[in-house]
């Protein structure tokens, strides 16, 4: 239901922009979220956005990450700035709460 892209290897302090191309008709009416899972840790929600654009962020990324969406294109974005090594994880998009089968995600690796 969703294909994530845009991950990569970046130095601390750098930036990346993730994209999530979704299929299905529910994208435009659902709260969408970006999640991440670091090795040995549980998957966590890092940012969410309502269909009207109201956003919410985990404290760990507040002020550094920006979530946005294009309902016409059924695409979700995550702009990540001032990246830290602790942001290293596989990033996924899904509805919030998660209703879709999880996709492959996109790996983000931040080197110190």
Q: pLDDT at position 30, please?
A: 86
For the chain, how far is it from start to end, CA to CA, in angstroms?
A: 34
The phi-psi region of residue 43 (left if phi > 0; otherwise alpha if psi is between -120 and 50; otherwise beta) is beta
CA distance 10 to 52: 32
Residue that has been written with the tokens 């209703």 in this structure: 99
CB atoms within 10 A of CB 51: 13
Name the band, by pLDDT with cuts 50, 70 and 90, for residue 13: very high
101 pLDDT more than 80: yes
For 27, 35, 40, 53, 72, the CA distances from 106, given in Å and listed in that order, are: 19, 11, 17, 23, 23
Give residue 20's pLDDT band: very low, low, confident or very high (50, 70, 90): very high
pLDDT digits (tens, 9 = 90+) for 70-92: 988 999 999 999 999 999 999 99
Structural contact between residues 53 and 70, judged by C-beta atoms closer than 8 angstroms: no
Report the C-alpha gap between 109 and 7 in whole angstroms: 8
Say what the pLDDT of residue 23 is: 84
Q: What is the pLDDT of residues 21-65, one digit of tens each?
A: 998 777 777 899 999 999 999 999 999 999 999 999 999 999 999
């Amino acid at each position: 239901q969703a294909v994530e892209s845009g991950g990569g290897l970046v130095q601390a302090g750098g930036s990346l922009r993730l994209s999530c191309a979704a299929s299905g008709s529910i994208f435009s009416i659902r709260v969408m979220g970006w999640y991440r899972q670091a090795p040995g840790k549980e998957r966590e929600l890092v940012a969410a956005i309502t269909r009207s654009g109201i956003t919410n962020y985990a404290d760990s990324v507040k002020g550094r990450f920006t979530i946005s969406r294009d309902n016409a294109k059924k695409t979700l974005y995550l702009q990540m700035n001032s990246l830290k090594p602790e942001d290293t994880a596989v990033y996924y998009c899904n509805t919030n709460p998660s209703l879709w089968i999880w996709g492959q995600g996109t790996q983000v690796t931040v080197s110190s």
